[in-house]
């Protein structure tokens, strides 16, 4: 496991982070990010199309991959890990904070959705990213030949 430096302005800490793992680790992390973004974007488009047809809201799912990429970067890089020690008094914050991030990003990128529908899409997709997306990503990653 990589331990991210607490001060990103310290060049020695950044160099230590970059050389702490082999290059195959970083390539594997990038491939995982790309594959989970593609799969998550497809699933988000399907969910948005279902909500668009069901509630007659003209949603343009063109930004689905960008939303999933941004949230994946937030989750994989561990930006939430920097905030949780400061907000540790709130119970279940590790589960609530990513859901809030999903709600904000869904509403920001898909403004056509009403706030209730944006919350529903965010909750459904958050549950999918917890339980289904890792399995689908692992299945697809199994078909990619290893390197190194």
Return the pLDDT at 89. 76
Can you give the residue ranges of every domain in the chain? 22-141
For the chain, give the mean pLDDT.
Answer: 83
Return the pLDDT at 136. 92
Residue 110 in contact with residue 118, Cβ under 8 Å?
yes
Q: How many residues does the chain have?
A: 148
Q: For the segment 14-40, what is each residue's pLDDT rounded down to a tens digit?
A: 677 667 778 777 888 888 889 999 999
Task: Measure the CA–CA gap between 4 and 8, rounded to whole angstroms.
Answer: 9
Is the pLDDT at 58 greater than 80? The verdict is yes
More confident residue, 58 or 36: 36
Residue 51 in contact with residue 117, Cβ under 8 Å?
yes
CA angle 47, 73, 78 (to 5 degrees): 120
In the chain, what is the straight-line distance between the N-terminal and C-terminal CA atoms, in Å?
19
**3-state class percentages of the chain: helix first, strand second, coil last, to nearest 5:** 70, 0, 30
């Amino acid at each position: 496991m990589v331990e991210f430096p607490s001060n990103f302005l310290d060049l020695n800490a950044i160099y230590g982070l970059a050389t702490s793992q082999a290059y195959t680790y970083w390539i594997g992390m990038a491939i995982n990010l790309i594959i989970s973004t593609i799969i998550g974007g497809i699933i988000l488009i399907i969910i948005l199309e279902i909500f668009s047809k069901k509630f007659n809201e003209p949603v343009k799912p063109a930004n689905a991959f960008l939303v999933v990429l941004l949230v994946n970067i937030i989750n994989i890089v561990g930006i939430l890990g920097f905030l949780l020690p400061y907000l540790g008094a709130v119970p279940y914050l590790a589960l609530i904070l990513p859901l809030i991030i999903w709600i904000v990003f869904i509403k920001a990128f898909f403004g056509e959705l009403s706030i209730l529908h944006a919350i529903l899409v965010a909750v459904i997709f958050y549950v999918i990213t917890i339980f289904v997306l890792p399995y689908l990503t692992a299945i697809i990653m199994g078909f990619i030949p290893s390197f190194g």
